Amino acid sequence: MPRKVSYGVDYDEEYDDYEDYDVDYDLDVEDNGNIPQSKQETIKRGIWRCSICTYDNDESLSVCDICGVLRNPLINYGAGSDKKTARFKFDAPSPDDLVFDGLHSSKKVSKANSTDLKSSRVSSSIDQNIGVVGIKSSADRADISSSLMRKGRHHSEDGSNYSKNGTGNMPSSDKSSVSPAALTIKGRPDAIDESSSSSMSRGNPRSLTNSLNKMALDAGSGLSKNGNARVTRSNTKYKPENWMLPGQAEDTLNQLNLAIVGHVDSGKSTLSGRLLHLLGRISQKEMHKNEKEAKLQGKGSFAYAWALDESTEERERGITMTVAVAYFDSKKYHVVVLDSPGHKDFVPNMISGAAQADAAVLVIDASVGSFEVGMDSAKGQTREHAQLIRSFGVDQIIVAVNKMDAVDYSKERFDLIKQRLGTFLRSCGFRDSSIILIPLSAMENQNLVAAPSDVRLLSWYHGPYLLDAIDSLQPPMRDFSKPVLMPICDVLKLSSLGQVSACGKLEAGALRSGSKVLVMPSGNVGIVRSLERDSQACSFARAGDNVAVSLQGIDGSLLTAGGVLCHPDFPVAVAKHLELKVLVLDVTTPILIGSQLEFHVHHAKEAARMVRMLSLLDPKTGKVTKKAPRCLTAKQTAVVEVALQGPVCVEEFSSCRALGRVFLRALGRTIAVGLVTRIIEEQD
């Protein structure tokens, strides 16, 4: 039953040059577990070539300067272990770089060809002929591939629904397309908590917490004189009908959207696969199949990860490239697992998946060297993911300190990681009380769904196991009584019947068959034909649910990922000129007027340009410290104006958090997080 959402990366034929860039990615592992010198190093004295991206690094670097991969991957796991693994390989250029360079992304993917990738998520009865609606959003004009594809499959208890043409048969080109980013957390005790005044952030005036808190508090104040360019939608007149509100008597589990994030190779997919298997969501039959096939490819250690990494490309490379969606039930929650890619080139995909998160599991590789790489300020995705997750509004985080077997379940190692990570997470704005750290081993099944059995861990760890920790999370708050709002993360089309479905998380309100919805930005009204949650038909869906909404009366080409379904009387705004309050992250190059950016809001992504820098703000007080700064540098908070190449569905943060959180990226890195403070120019 786990399904896989595909947010991938396409490249145009203009990028065929990259084929010349291919290298032999098969990383041989000798019997002694070492990588042969000839592949690992070479060419010239003083230079070593990265086996992953082929960049020639200086001898002094222990980590690839380009892709952040360890020079000497840890092959041996713990004393006495005979486990070996070939490391992942990667050859695709960054989608962000394509955008930045103004080059055309997107290989011409035949949507029809990719049909079998995207089946099961919409309908268990729809297994074939499903194509993704070509996404012709404004992002296309911006040379950003905005198409979102869902590839999926069912895993029934007996594995009988396992797609025979699963993604494994796809040509590698078909798996991709950059997902527009998405930040859609709404209604939870939010991002911007009151912790700015808490003890943890007090000592760190420049912390992300402080800055974000301040930004949130000020977001509605409207720094500019001009009012909103449009009539703000009014929630005051809206009255939800009875069925829209959860009844006391209802006996259904709360849905919890759980993003699994962390640095590349930390074991996110293995952990997710292991959990699903332990909880009976992956059949024995399917596990055997994965094990057999993984072994045949010399990647036996990836068997659990393959439950989520479905495509040929992901499996060959040994990395997740797209967000996988799977489900399991704990005592308290119906958990939606969003297994994100860790590689830096797929951060836009991670953003899109994590946008739907209510809480997150940050997976850490405890191995010596690997944790440190993840925390590297320039290349570590542990840092970037934690910052992104926090600024999405996620404030509950479980840190899964994985691969403890590789460090002999050492308490000292765990304590060191706990101490370093704790400091960092606090600086991101997570409260101590909302951080749960758990030592575990996905590979050896220690501390996942039961207390550990290994005495080395049992001797010093007496806290909760992972499933326990998930159940201890606070239920997310939902906007049931607001007009319906669903940012579209994916569009599916059943070509044979002409049916179209929009997939995403309902941020507010409720839907049922027959409900009218306004599809933005096209402005057309459609009627809900049917709804599916977790591949099962359902009669209604409410805020927080991750659903596929089948629509009638809508031309499929008008539905786009990055668009929004909303109440016909409460349309969202569509705009391309915005005022933002941003917090600049750890950038090395200052942001200038004219800087080219990649703008992310919920599942939409658009090329943008910095057009004005209005003021710098004191991160503590929010007061203007300087007007019209000439540039923005790391950790500064500022009010700026950006012009987007094409319009996006957006709202001011003060009126709608889900559509008001933005991220700015450039050169493949997230350079700023922020909030929409004003819509300057609304599209008609």
The span from the first CA to the last CA of the chain, in angstroms, equals 43
- Which one of 269, 311, 382, 550 is in contact with ligand GTP (CB under 6 A)? 269
327 binds, among Mg ion, ligand GTP, none (CB under 5 to 8 A by kind): none
- Within positions 36 to 95, which residues make up the interface with ligand GTP, using CB under 6 A? 77, 85, 88
CA angle 236, 239, 240 (to 5 degrees): 135
441 binds ligand GTP, rule: CB under 6 A: yes
Closer to ligand GTP by Cβ: residue 51 or 301: 301
Closer to Mg ion by Cβ: residue 195 or 269: 269
- Which one of 11, 15, 100, 302 is in contact with ligand GTP (CB under 6 A)? 302
Minimal CA–CA distance to 121: which of 168, 171, 183, 167? 167
The interaxial angle of helices 411-428 and 381-391, nearest 10 deg, is 40
Cα gap 403→409, rounded to integer Å? 9
Cα gap 325→572, rounded to integer Å? 27
Spell out, one character per residue from 372 to 411, where the chain touches ligand GTP: x when CB under 6 A holds, - when not. ------------------------------xx-xx-----
Which residues in 207-217 are b (16+ Cβ under 10 Å) and which e? bbbbbbbbbbe
Q: At residue 25, what are phi and psi to the nearest 5 degrees?
A: -90, -5
How many residues interact with ligand GTP (rule CB under 6 A)?
A: 25
Instruction: Say if residues 489 and 603 touch (Cβ distance below 8 Å).
Output: yes
335 binds, among Mg ion, ligand GTP, none (CB under 5 to 8 A by kind): none
319 binds ligand GTP, rule: CB under 6 A: yes
Cα gap 513→511, rounded to integer Å? 7
Min CB(410)–ligand GTP separation in Å: 13
Cα gap 335→340, rounded to integer Å? 15
Minimal CA–CA distance to 5: which of 280, 448, 354, 484? 354
267 binds, among Mg ion, ligand GTP, none (CB under 5 to 8 A by kind): ligand GTP
- Within positions 86 to 145, which residues make up the interface with ligand GTP, using CB under 6 A? 88
213 binds ligand GTP, rule: CB under 6 A: no
Count CA within 13 A, CB hemisphere, residue 363: 28
Min CB(83)–ligand GTP separation in Å: 6
Closer to ligand GTP by Cβ: residue 39 or 230: 39
Token pair, residue 548, equals 């596929």
Residue 436, C-beta contacts closer than 8 angstroms, at least 6 positions apart: 397, 398, 399, 463, 464, 469, 472
Stretch that binds Mg ion, among 159-167, 320-328, 404-412, 513-521 (CB under 5 A): 320-328
Stretch that binds ligand GTP, among 2-10, 104-112, 297-305, 548-556 (CB under 6 A): 297-305
Min CB(289)–Mg ion separation in Å: 19
320 binds Mg ion, rule: CB under 5 A: yes
| DSSP reduced 3-state for 80 | coil
| DSSP reduced 3-state for 404 | helix
Min CB(142)–ligand GTP separation in Å: 27
Closer to ligand GTP by Cβ: residue 404 or 575: 404
Closer to ligand GTP by Cβ: residue 460 or 480: 460
Q: How many beta carbons lie within 10 A of that of residue 247, not counting itself?
A: 8
- Within positions 322 to 361, which residues make up the interface with ligand GTP, using CB under 6 A? 341-343
Instruction: Say if residues 10 and 175 touch (Cβ distance below 8 Å).
Output: no
Task: Note the residues at the interface with Mg ion (CB under 5 A).
Answer: 268-269, 320
Binding-site ranges for ligand GTP (CB under 6 A): 77, 85, 88, 264-270, 301-302, 305, 319-320, 341-343, 402-403, 405-406, 441-443
